[in-house]
């Protein structure tokens, strides 16, 4: 009994610690006057409206989508076929992918940034391309996990064999049988990658900075000028992430359902 109530209390504290700042930020995004009261004295959409009229924000948002989306698409086109080929035909090399995944996880962004600046600034490669490249590699773990998990529940080799014996070419077998089977897991991995990159700040700020202003950098700037606007940015960000999370959760469930035999 005692133990139970202690756990409850702990949980409550945890929720307050995590949720309160978020709620407060969200409220702040819609707050009119808010000085001496617990809750704001009035509500307004002014901050959101200002934000959407600010071309700098729209452009920053566009840049973020472009950069994250571009990295995800490149990763899908380049990494996914490689993962398929290795898992299906050269399973003994899979441990190298796994090693790469661990390395990606264990490199802190700051160290990576210093390294990238040092190496690439001498060659005249545009820094934004360097960041893009780092992003593509940075999401390897998510893309790998997404693909691998959906391949795990099916005997992919055998599905390809079966399709080929029924008259499909290797390409057709891949497109009509394997891809639809792994699609939900793959798509979930892609969305997850996108949301991680969308929130990335360290690398882009250190390597490129305000020369390529993303939502995160825009947010950083606004923090020092207008708390309300900054809160509105956070609000939009949270809504966007909420939607993505919802879709990912749905897809993950679907991916599990599709292959449970």
Partner 1 sequence: MTYITIEGLHKKFGTSTVLHEIDMQINKGEFITLLGPSGCGKSTILRIVAGLTDASSGKIHIDGQDMTGIQPKERQVGMVFQSYALFPNMTVKENVAFGLRMQKMNPTEIEKRVEEMLAIVHLTEKADAYPKELSGGQQQRVALARALIVRPKVLLLDEPLSALDAQIRKKLQADLRMIQQQLDMTMILVTHDQEEAMAISDRIFVMHNGRIAQSGTPTAIYTKPKSEFVAQFIGHYNVFTRPTLEKMMGTRLPGEATKFAIRPEAIHLEQRAGDVPLQGTAKQSLMSGNVIRTTFEGTSTFLMEQLHQGEQAIRIGQSYTCYVAQEDVIALS
Q: Report if residue 27 touches partner 1, rule: CB under 8 A.
A: no
Question: Is 88 a residue that touches partner 1 (CB under 8 A)?
Answer: no
Distance between CA atoms of residues 49 and 224, nearest Å: 19
Comparison of 177 and 190: residue with beta carbon closer to partner 1: 177
Q: Does 159 bind partner 1 (CB under 8 A)?
A: yes
**Which of 98, 172, 210, 245 is close enough to bind partner 1 by CB under 8 A?**
172
Kindly indicate which of the ranges 2-10, 125-133, 170-178, 215-223 contains the residues binding partner 1, using the contact rule CB under 8 A: 170-178
Regarding 258 and contact with partner 1 (CB under 8 A), the answer is yes
Q: How many alpha carbons lie under 13 Å from residue 24 in its C-beta half-sphere?
A: 10
Buried residues in 13-35 as b, exposed as e (16+ CB within 10 A): eeeeeeeeeeeebbebbbbeebe
Residues 6 or more apart in contact with residue 124 via CB below 8 angstroms: none
Phi, psi for 40 (deg, rounded to 5)? -60, 155
Asked if 181 touches partner 1 (CB under 8 A), the answer is yes
The residue among 169 and 210 lying less far from partner 1, judged by its C-beta, is 169
Q: Is residue 166 at the binding interface for partner 1, with CB under 8 A as the rule?
A: yes
Q: In sequence order, what are the residues at sequence separation of 6 or more whose Cβ sits closer than 8 angstroms to the Cβ of residue 178?
A: 84, 156, 159, 160
Among 155, 175, 242, 250, binds partner 1 (CB under 8 A): 155
Q: Interacting stretch for partner 1, rule CB under 8 A, among 108-116, 128-136, 175-183, 215-223?
A: 175-183
168 is an interface residue for partner 1 by CB under 8 A: yes
For 107, counting Cβ atoms within 10 Å of its Cβ (0-12 exposed, 13-18 middle, 19+ buried), the class is middle
Residue 89 contacts partner 1 per CB under 8 A: no
Beta bridge partners of 43: 31
Q: Are the C-beta atoms of 194 and 142 separated by less than 8 Å?
A: no
**Site residues (vs partner 1, CB under 8 A):** 154-155, 158-159, 161-169, 172, 176-177, 180-181, 257-261
């Amino acid at each position: 009994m005692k133990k139970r109530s202690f756990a409850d209390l702990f949980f409550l504290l945890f929720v307050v610690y995590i949720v309160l700042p978020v709620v407060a930020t969200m409220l702040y995004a819609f707050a009119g006057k808010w000085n001496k009261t617990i809750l704001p004295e009035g509500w307004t959409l002014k901050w959101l409206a200002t934000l959407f009229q600010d071309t700098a924000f729209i452009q920053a948002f566009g840049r973020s989508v472009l950069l994250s989306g571009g990295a995800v698409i490149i990763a899908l086109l380049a990494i996914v076929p490689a993962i398929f080929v290795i898992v299906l035909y050269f399973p003994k090399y899979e441990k190298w992918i796994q090693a790469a995944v661990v390395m990606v996880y264990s490199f802190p962004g700051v160290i990576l940034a210093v390294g990238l600046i040092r190496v690439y600034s001498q060659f005249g490669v545009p820094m934004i391309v360097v960041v893009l490249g780092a992003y593509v590699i940075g999401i390897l773990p998510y893309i790998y996990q997404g693909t691998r998990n959906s391949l795990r529940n099916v005997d992919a080799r055998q599905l390809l064999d079966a399709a080929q014996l029924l008259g499909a070419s290797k390409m057709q077998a891949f497109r009509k049988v394997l891809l639809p089977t792994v699609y939900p897991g793959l798509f979930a991995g892609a969305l997850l990658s996108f949301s991680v990159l969308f929130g990335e700040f360290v690398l882009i700020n250190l390597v490129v900075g305000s020369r390529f202003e993303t939502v995160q950098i825009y947010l950083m700037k606004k923090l020092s000028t207008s708390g309300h606007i900054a809160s509105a940015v956070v609000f939009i960000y949270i809504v966007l992430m909420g939607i993505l999370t919802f879709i990912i959760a749905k897809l993950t469930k679907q991916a599990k359902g599709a292959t449970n035999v």
